[in-house]
Chains A and B, each alone.
Chain A
Amino acid sequence: MTAVVTGDLPVIEAPRSRRSGGGNGTNFEMYAWIFMRMSGLLLVFLVLGHLFIMLLLDGGVQRINFGFVAGRWASPFWRTWDLAQLWLAQLHGTNGLRVIINDYAERDGTRFWLKMLLYTSSFLVLLLGTLVIFTFDPDITG
């Protein structure tokens, strides 16, 4: 494929060239890249399994209520499943949104504050979700 190119083009550095300046000397972006693939692979099984059980098996969502949750979370297996799912999905999604914010928010201040909002909400979601799984009480009285 031969491309005819006219006009000014942005300068694109050769792949794998050392960047001058920028970066803080860690390989954070590489580890984030690896994490997205590893967590993604696990989430394919965890989340599709979760959706299959909750929404397709038996009566689907129609049968879900407090008693159903109590029955499931009586088992350490499902609590472990849900905890792994919560942490992997929330971290996977947080990193995904971080990349999207970096791509589209052009002003430094906007980018910073959107990411602070993202990290704060992610922290609270992980904290709340983890507490709920660990402190669930089937005999709670409302």
Chain B
Amino acid sequence: MQAPAGTLYRGREGMWSWVAHRVTGVLIFFFLFAHVLDTALVRVSPDSYNRIMDTYKTPLVNLMEVGLVGAVLFHALNGLRVMAIDFWEKGTRYQKQMTWAVLTVFVAVMVPATYRMVAHTFAELFGSTT
């Protein structure tokens, strides 16, 4: 038995960016649910809001924050690629190159962004005074 061949995306860059778009989208959706609830604590009391924010500042959640930013950044960049495929007349022809452009920009932004986000945690864990 042979799988149907010749579909545009199957097993290639286009398919994997589609998969990653879905996965990151679902992750962001569930974070948004939690984020609206945690922010709603400003209507309860300053103290309860500050306590939930303190959990966001712990090393483990700080690491998850990097994952969240990565998910949002990929979803945003790939979303722009999807729009280019839909609305730019040469979009379909360059979809593969645009996938690599998305990944290049992703890495170029994530490296300094990760450094900034974990700098405090890093200093805290390893005892630097900065």
Contacts and interface: CB of A to CB of B under 8 A. Distances in A.
B79 A40 contact: yes
Interface in B24-79: 25-26, 28-29, 32-33, 36-37, 39-40, 42-50, 53, 56-57, 62, 65, 69, 72-73, 76, 79
Given A44-B76, A44-B79, A64-B56, A132 B39 contact: yes
B130 interface: no
A41 interface: yes
Contacts, number: 118
Contacts of A102: none
B6 A51 contact: no
Given A44-B76, A60-B116, A96-B25, A66 B49 contact: yes
A142 B46 contact: yes
B46 A61 contact: no
A73 B35 CA distance: 17
Contact of A135 (B6, B28, B43, B69): B43
B6 A65 contact: no
A61 B32 contact: no
B32 A90 contact: yes
A55 B6 contact: no
A4 interface: yes
Contacts of A4: 2, 5
Interface string A86-107: 1001100110110010000000
B101 interface: no
A56 interface: yes
B82 to A, nearest CB: 8
B15 interface: no
B4 interface: yes
Interface string B5-31: 110000000000000001001101100
A93 B29 contact: yes
Nearest to B37: A128
A65 B50 contact: yes
Given A37-B86, A64-B56, A48 B46 contact: no
B1 interface: yes
Contacts of B117: 55-56, 60-61
Contacts of A132: 36, 39-40, 42-43
Interface of B: 1-2, 4-6, 22, 25-26, 28-29, 32-33, 36-37, 39-40, 42-50, 53, 56-57, 62, 65, 69, 72-73, 76, 79-80, 82-83, 86-87, 113, 116-117, 120
